[in-house]
């Protein structure tokens, strides 16, 4: 697509390995979600196969169409529990001519979070606004040798894309806000080899964490932006209580965090401590008005926790929707609304 000047805006961290079908199944998000939204915002229509074998087309190419229920976006994010998607009509956008990226270091998350609130409050919607905690900064530096400030308590990766002047202007505004909030230091892409090198600080976080321990268990929670500091603090308290090392990074611009448990599966009692850590993190997210999954979906692992967020009434409604599409329960049983 980029070769012909087009771009698919969602930018999942697994972009080098994931498929468009998987993106549709989970309504995947990514690093550009704050400005561009998620997968569902770019799906115009689908061809689906129902459990009965019927082939149905939903949506189309129209911008506005309210002739019935929005079946397209009922299927998006349904994790293969309602129908099998065989064709996807996707909206693409012109590839931006320029990308301006910067990083800013802070002594603590509270200050970094205040920057996020100021940026959003100023009406700025950058393409990128990402967060790494101190553990992530350290392992990324060990992994990629990017010259990161490993003494910092938090790192923000920020930036915008579009026309060169506009993207650079947005990046400068965010850099100034970071400096006004007492950033330890800031760097923008115009002063190093490329924006890609700065983005690498975020993109290689999970691979770097995977070298820290035998197993890196990536989680996915979301909270309102004004509760981010509380959520990260709760994650720290919970991981300390259950003696499980945990690093945190994520899409701070839209409140989506990825706590990552760093564990040795051969350690005695670790399974119980992992379960307790995950349960308590999910409960913390829910108590702060958040979600147990911002973009990764429910799957198998989160199914036992789903009712904690949605409640019995919503779970019953999901089951009725599932039964309407799949009365015999043959599509991906035991997931989502099953």
Q: Is residue 84 within a helix (H) or strand (E), and if so which, with residue range?
A: strand 84-90
The predicted pLDDT at position 84 comes to 97
pLDDT band at 191 (very low <50, low <70, confident <90, very high): very low
Q: Are 100 and 189 in contact (CB under 8 A)?
A: yes
Q: Given a cut of 70, is residue 146 above it in pLDDT?
A: yes
For the residues 183-191, what does the mean pLDDT come to?
84
Q: Specify whether the CB–CB gap between 23 and 39 falls below 8 A.
A: yes
Distance from chain centroid for Cα 144: 22
Alpha-carbon distance 172 to 119, whole Å? Answer: 12
Closest CA to 218 of 228, 208, 231: 208
Q: Would the pLDDT of 193 be above 80?
A: no
Report the SS3 class of residue 152. coil
Residue 192's pLDDT band, with cuts at 50, 70 and 90, is very low
> Do residues 177 and 104 touch, judged by C-beta distance below 8 A?
no
Q: What is the mean pLDDT of residues 293-303?
A: 92
Q: Give the pLDDT band of residue 190 (cuts 50, 70, 90).
A: low
Q: Tens digits of per-residue pLDDT, 87-138?
A: 999 999 999 999 999 999 999 988 999 999 999 999 999 999 999 999 999 9
CA pair distance 193, 50, nearest whole angstrom = 50
* Contact criterion met (CB below 8 Å) for 24 and 84: no
pLDDT tens-digit map of 251-294:
999 999 999 999 999 999 999 999 999 999 999 999 999 999 99
* Mean pLDDT of the 232-244 span: 96
pLDDT band per the 50, 70, 90 thresholds, residue 203: confident
Q: How far apart are CA 327 and CA 282, in angstroms?
A: 31
Q: What domains are there in the chain, each with its CATH number? A: 2-94 (3.30.465.10), 98-203 (3.30.70.3450), 213-328 (3.30.70.2740)
- Helix, strand or coil for residue 129? strand
Rounded Cα distance between 203 and 283, Å, is 28
How far, CA to CA in Å, does 338 sit from each of 35, 48, 49, 141, 323?
33, 19, 19, 43, 8
pTM for the whole structure: 0.91
φ, ψ dihedrals at 207, nearest 5°: -55, -35
For the segment 14-69, what is each residue's pLDDT rounded down to a tens digit?
777 889 999 999 999 888 989 999 999 999 999 999 999 999 999 998 888 899 99
**Mean residue pLDDT across the chain:** 93
**d(Cα 134, Cα 12) in Å, to the nearest integer?**
23
């Amino acid at each position: 697509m980029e070769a012909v000047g087009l771009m698919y805006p969602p930018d999942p961290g697994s972009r080098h390995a994931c498929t468009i079908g998987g993106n549709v199944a989970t309504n995947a998000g990514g690093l550009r979600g704050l400005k561009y939204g998620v997968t569902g915002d770019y799906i115009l229509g689908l061809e689906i196969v129902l459990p009965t074998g019927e082939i149905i087309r939903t949506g189309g190419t129209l911008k506005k169409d309210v002739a019935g229920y929005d079946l397209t976006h009922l299927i998006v994010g349904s994790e293969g529990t309602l129908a099998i998607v065989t064709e996807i009509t996707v909206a693409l956008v012109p590839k931006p001519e320029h990308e301006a990226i910067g990083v800013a270091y802070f002594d603590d998350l509270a200050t970094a979070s205040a920057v996020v609130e100021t940026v959003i409050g100023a009406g700025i919607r950058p393409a990128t606004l990402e967060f790494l905690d101190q553990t992530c900064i350290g392992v990324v530096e060990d992994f990629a040798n990017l010259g990161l400030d490993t003494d910092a308590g938090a790192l923000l990766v920020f930036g915008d894309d579009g026309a060169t002047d506009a993207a650079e202007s947005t990046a400068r505004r965010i850099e100034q806000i970071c400096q006004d909030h007492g950033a330890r230091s800031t760097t923008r892409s115009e002063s190093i080899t490329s924006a890609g090198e700065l983005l690498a600080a975020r993109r290689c976080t999970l691979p770097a964490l995977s070298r820290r321990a035998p197993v890196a268990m990536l989680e996915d929670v979301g909270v309102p932006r004004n509760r981010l500091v509380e959520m990260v603090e709760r994650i720290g308290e919970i991981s300390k209580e259950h003696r499980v090392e945990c690093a945190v990074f994520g899409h701070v611009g839209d409140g989506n965090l990825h706590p990552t448990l760093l564990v040795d599966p051969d350690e005695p009692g670790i399974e119980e401590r992992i379960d307790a850590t995950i349960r308590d993190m999910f409960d913390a997210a829910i108590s702060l008005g958040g979600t147990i999954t911002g973009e990764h979906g429910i799957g198998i692992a989160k199914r036992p926790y789903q009712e904690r967020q949605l409640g019995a009434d919503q779970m019953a409604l999901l089951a009725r929707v599932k039964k309407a599409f799949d009365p015999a329960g043959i599509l991906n049983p035991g997931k989502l609304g099953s």
